[in-house]
Amino acid sequence: MTPATAPRLVADIGGTNARFALQHDDRIDRMQVLACADFATLGDAVRHYLQGHGVQVRHAALGIANPVHGDRLRMTNHHWEFSIDALRRELGLDTLLVLNDFATLALALPLLPAQELRQVGGAEPEADAPRAVVGAGTGLGVAGLLPARRGTWLPVAGEGGHVSFSPADDDEAELWRFARRRHGHVSAERLLCGRGLELIHAWLCERDGAAGEARDAATITQRALGGEDARCARAVDMFCGMLGTLAGNVALTFDARGGLYVGGGIVPRLGEHFARSPFRARFEAKGRFATALARIPVLVIHSPWPGLLGAGAALRQHLGEPSHA
């Protein structure tokens, strides 16, 4: 096999699950999800995957739900801790790229097929313009994607989910006070993640004198979508509206004329309810820049493995291979 067609390892490492696949040219296959808790180290998980598929690789790229600064990483939501270079040598690799998971998600954006995207308002995306992505799940991730030379893309990852939450109306101001009493500083992630949805619902229960009715995020979503519970529906709509404000901020920050993409585990599960929610109105509610925001398309990601696609794109760019976007 030539170097371009020999299999490479790509992975998307979260605090709960590690997703692995093999990349062959511009394709990925043999996807497998492993529970992080089943392995003492990341190296153990990688070896288990490779041995199970009977392959050896020379090059690998991993997206990880963690800031990536320097050689040594200690995961904030799991116990794995490692040196990137030591792990590369331990696994016998020529190349080991480790990126923030939202950097790899950003790199996947040009590769996502149209059938795996659902547009919520806006015009057509501009092909060579900046793009941005937000994603709410266990936490809240934010990243940008900027066009670079010769058809390549530059991901811009950060910790945008931890910016301070900014209320947009009286209800949200009361919610902010409720969250501050419990947690001190109120970040956007404090409210725009699974536990954040539970916090919104808890505030609604306290406000309505129904404090004993607290529910988990999955139940809140299920009851809201089933039309069974007005308070759950209100919690989901508040969540979507606040996410719209944040997404509009991110779209303005990156001038995301190529599209504002929404990933993560929560929004794709909302289906058509999300399109009917306050999200789009709040996304555009930026005063003098409302007209500019109205043109920016929002695209909800319904792809099962976007992080793996992005890790593969990062590896191709690093090895100087042409993009297949």
Question: What are 36-53's pLDDT values in tens digits?
Answer: 999 999 999 999 999 999
Average pLDDT over residues 20-41: 92
Sign (positive/negative) of CA torsion 159, 163, 167, 172? positive
Distance CA 298, CA 120 (A): 5
Q: How confident is the model at residue 25 (pLDDT cuts 50, 70, 90)?
A: confident
pTM for this model (two decimals): 0.91
Three-state DSSP state, 196: helix
pLDDT: which is higher, 16 or 218: 218
pLDDT at residue 2 is higher than 50: no
Q: Which helix (H) or strand (E) covers residue 235, if one does?
A: helix 230-254
Distance CA 46, CA 51 (A): 9
User: What domains can be seen in the chain, in order of their start residue?
Assistant: 8-101+305-318 (3.30.420.40), 108-163+242-301 (3.40.367.20), 170-239 (no CATH)
Phi, psi of 77 (to 5 degrees): -120, 20
Q: What is the mean pLDDT of the chain?
A: 93
Distance CA 2, CA 126 (A): 35
pLDDT at 1: 46
* Three-state DSSP string of 23-38: EECCEEEEEEEEEHHH
pLDDT at residue 325 is higher than 70: no
Sign (positive/negative) of CA torsion 213, 217, 220, 222? negative
Q: Which long-range contacts (CB under 8 A, 24 or more apart) does 147-154 make?
A: 151/322, 151/323, 151/325, 152/317, 152/323, 153/106, 153/107, 153/110, 153/313, 153/317, 153/323, 153/325
Yes or no: say if 75 and 49 are a contact pair by the CB < 8 Å rule.
no
DSSP line for 94-136: SEEEEEEHHHHHHHHGGG--GGGEEE-SS-PPPTTS-EEEEEE
Distance CA 38, CA 27 (A): 28
Find, among 296, 254, 287, 299, the residue nearest to 114 by Cα. Answer: 299
Distance CA 224, CA 241 (A): 15
